[in-house]
Structure 1
């Protein structure tokens, strides 16, 4: 009970401290370090890296990962223990990343599709350009949405002439092996492609200006080749037995699926290694901030992508900082929306307006780990619509959440709807569209009767409020929101969340609260329209999200 009271007091103090303006956290002064910025941002890459095994100190999939380049950055830099996305869906997460705003403050960027970038919202890449930086990107930056990669200038700054096969590591290597090429040679082809695209960007910087390069491979997004974790990386699925979180069935098929995902994480690490080699060859390691993260958790599993549980919102955030103390682990709660003002402050650029994020430059430069800023004791996140055709009438599954050290609180605004979409009997196309297709999803659907608890947790309706005591339930399996002993905690966190959402102008809790229930937020995407045209009769269902 003492821990419950402490959590209540901590939540109230955090709410008060968080009311300060974000603009005070950005500074375009002459003291800006103006480092180069290499940003590696994995698609559907959650909190998976070898160095997080020692941070968490509990059995998990990270125990099996061999990520020497990521781990090097952790040893030479800083690891954020509590880094979260604004929304666990590709486009809204990236809208928050580029703007520094809550996802719900980014207009039609708040949904996956048909997302449209609001050109009136300043994004950090343009602030860097205005401050004299050269920018470039390879592969995915902001999509699906229109215009593609809009907040980083569309394709005007793309460096992809060498190819884009790095988006599909296991598929590419497997196809090359089937064509008679050795696995090592096929891997070398992909690494050379990554190197060549980055080299083209670096070679174009004739005047030696500070630069920002955004590297966004899709390989950790499904689909990947079944069995590739073992075949290409030697990751034994059997070694995952007893290491899966409680929301995943610990069965051979699911273990293999997770092993294949871990193989793609190791491929991402190999890509990072090539970029580091190129930096070292050019003598620029000492002047470059290198930062790693991803847009949300693992796809195609329960409690992962498109959910507000840790498996969907908790992500990697690791950085190597020029001249800073190495080997630090920071406990402050941070949002990826904090990165936009961080980059702007590093560049000495003009502060971004209307933002939620606060610069992390002081954290990057801190001489020690642990807690740096006491006001950073929680984060707020949420989700509206993921796949457009997942539910009746093209409606979203609106939810908001608040996460602190001790608790995860979730408010589901439409508990009558299905969080993952329509079941098979109500759909004329793939069921539960808000969960990406894959072996784990297939197992859950096929074993609905023999493993009803797993099926219900993955696809069943959820109550209006959820509360998880992280001290006793780190996998967030036991909802204690309606237990009398937790009533005060639930009421306090609910009030704190509502206060912050109202202060931020969240359309879900301001006005009539129905902004996201109407067009254009309930429009069909072009791809979905084409899909419906192919059906023999009209229906509300669709293809998996990309």
Structure 2
């Protein structure tokens, strides 16, 4: 189906000017490659907490001036989320437009996805497609040529020097000009993913290129999600210095747009793939885990400095948005909805919840979790929270987790928090308005029984309509022996699958599972 040309209503013109003319040019094959054709820069950070960004209220001054400038130039979404809290599953939502349990990209392995991804669809519509860094995390399979005309992958160099991103992006634009095509560029800044900058070369091989400013420990207050002890200060300061270096890289990329004089006809979408790599954040489903900065810059079309606080949006909405803007045919079932009406200044109904999930991390140990976030609450279902399994979050490999363990020997409150981190419980409910860091589980508080039941019903409806395998566990959540049977089944499936997968990282195997897309139902919950 070809999406119709976009026309404007007079009421939207104050926000969105000259839109129909520009989009008509983008959608006309005869004009592809002309100066007026819309380029797309999809710019991402890696493991960046939404509230580490100045425009989202960071208490650290001047950590993200380049991201903040993007917010000043465009539209910032206050309530934006990603679907998954780890790299490969999250990033594949961006380019498949589907939930991980539908696309099949549940972990860090390749999947035979049955329809065109975002770069493939845009390429078929005349775009030159390019990716810089995070290449294997940005596609269902490791076949780079299937998706990208240009690949700037510096993994062998193990370098996060900000100028490297500018150099690679400069080359990408040159190549697109040679082809006479507009570009769709996925530029993925690796910072502030671990290992953090520490002023020295790490054993992992990353260089010691410093950020433009190095913060001292006394300049960085601890994040409230962490226990408030000095044990965490060194690593959290290292995190912010890595945030700063990542922002420097973003500045380099934007300078390349200006150098080529294409910024005026480039749509910029900036997102982080999930929250920071600290306990209770990455690989979890709390607000700190899945809320993301989301900024859209479209010169001449979006009024500067707009902040949307009304709509809850998520990663599944990216692909339908870009397809509609470029009048690119929809390749098949997509879980999200285009954000174009919101960008045009309209109110979009049924934007009062988002659904998120976690299935497994790089170790391939199944830990199915599902959650529904509303504007004031989050309800989480942990299929593994029977007391028989330990969390497999990535941050347990790093200093912050070691600090947790050491402090737990001295402080009972930290010990209790650590035990909850490791074992969790089957259900969690948090008042995110009054408890933004999810520390007071209300699931057994009778005052919140109605809220819990409402969110359970929403989550169950979504799981049914998206054919979610975790529904089998959710339906027996009150029967721990049966829930454990469900978990043992998932573990057995994972062990068998591990012998034949083509892994994104580590050992390579020949086979690939096939994604099974589901035509979504008509419920308002999943429109």
TM-score, structure 2 as length reference: 0.78
Gaps of 5+ in 1: 1-22, 55-60, 170-189, 422-431, 531-546
8 Å CA contact 2:119, 2:129 repeated in 1: yes
What number of residue pairs does the alignment pair up?
Answer: 452
1:345 aligns with 2:324: yes
Aligned-partner SS, 1:290: strand
Pairing 1:368-383 to 2, within 5 Å after superposition:
372-383=347-358
Tell me the secondary structure at the aligned position of residue 308 of structure 1: coil
Structure 1 contact 248–454 (Cα < 8 Å) conserved: no
Q: Which 5+ residue runs of structure 2 have no aligned equivalent? A: 7-19, 27-37, 201-207, 476-485, 509-527
Q: Pick from 422, 439, 442: which aligns with 2:402?
A: 442
For the structure 1 residues 127 and 44, does the alpha-carbon distance in structure 2 shift closer, same or farther, using more than 3 Å as the test? same
Label 1:74 to 1:146 Cα distance change in 2 as closer, same or farther (>3 A): closer
Compute the displacement of 1:470 (Å): 1.8
Instruction: Tell me, yes or no, if the aligned pair for 1:50 and 1:65 is still in contact at 8 Å.
Output: no
**Corresponding residue to 1:209 among 177, 181, 203:** 181
Partner residue of 1:258 out of 227, 232, 236: 236
Residue 104 of structure 1: aligned partner: 101
The correspondence of residues 361-510 of structure 1 with structure 2, limited to 5 A, is 361-366=340-345, 372-388=347-363, 394=365, 396-416=366-386, 421=391, 434-458=394-418, 459-509=421-471
Q: Tell me, what secondary structure is at the counterpart of 2:184?
A: strand
What corresponds to 2:47 in structure 1?
44
Q: Which residue in 1 is equivalent to 2:13?
A: none
Counterpart-to-counterpart distance in 2, 1:357 and 1:207: 32
Using the alignment, how far apart are the partners of 1:490 and 1:64 within structure 2?
38
SS of corresponding position for 2:231? helix
8 A Cα contact 1:235 1:259, kept in partner: yes
Task: Kindly state the Cα deviation for residue 53 of structure 1 after the two structures are TM-superposed.
Answer: 4.2
Q: CA deviation at 1:214?
A: 0.8
SS state at 1:213 partner: strand
Aligned mates of 1:409, 1:336 — CA distance in 2: 19
What's 1:90 paired with?
Answer: 87
SS in 2 for 1:158: strand
What SS does the corresponding residue of 2:178 show, helix, strand or coil?
Answer: coil
Q: Give the 3 Å change call, closer, same or farther, for CA 383–351 of structure 1 in structure 2.
A: same
After TM superposition, give the deviation of residue 240 of structure 1 in Å: 3.0
Note the C-alpha offset of 1:381: 0.4
- In structure 1, the partner of 2:32 is none
* Cα displacement string for residues 456-487 of structure 1 (whole angstroms, at most 9, x for unaligned residues): 43433222111101222111100001101011
Does the 8 A contact of 2:82 with 2:290 survive in 1? Answer: yes
The range that moved more, 456-465 or 262-271, is 456-465
Q: C-alpha offsets along residues 208-234 of structure 1, whole Å, 9 cap, x if unaligned? A: 422111111323211124368997523
Partner of 2:227: 249
SS in 2 for 1:201: helix
Contact 2:103–2:113 under 8 Å retained in 1? no
1:77–1:328 Cα contact (<8 Å) kept: yes
Note if contact 2:56-2:293 (Cα within 8 Å) is conserved in structure 1.
Answer: no
Question: 2: distance between equivalents of 1:448 and 1:198?
Answer: 46
Going from structure 1 to structure 2, the CA distance change for 1:342 and 1:149 (only over 3 Å counts) comes to farther
- Whether the 8 Å CA contact 1:388–1:522 is kept in 2: the answer is no
**Corresponding position of 1:63:** 60
Residues 120 and 466 of structure 1, relative CA distance in 2, 3 Å threshold = same
The counterpart of 2:152, out of the listed 148, 156, 159, is 159
Q: Decide whether the 8 Å contact of 1:40 with 1:214 is kept in 2.
A: yes
Q: Could you say which residue in structure 2 is the equivalent of 1:148? A: 142
Asked if 1 retains the 8 angstrom alpha-carbon contact of 2:70 and 2:297, the reply is: yes
1:149–1:237 Cα change, 3 Å = farther
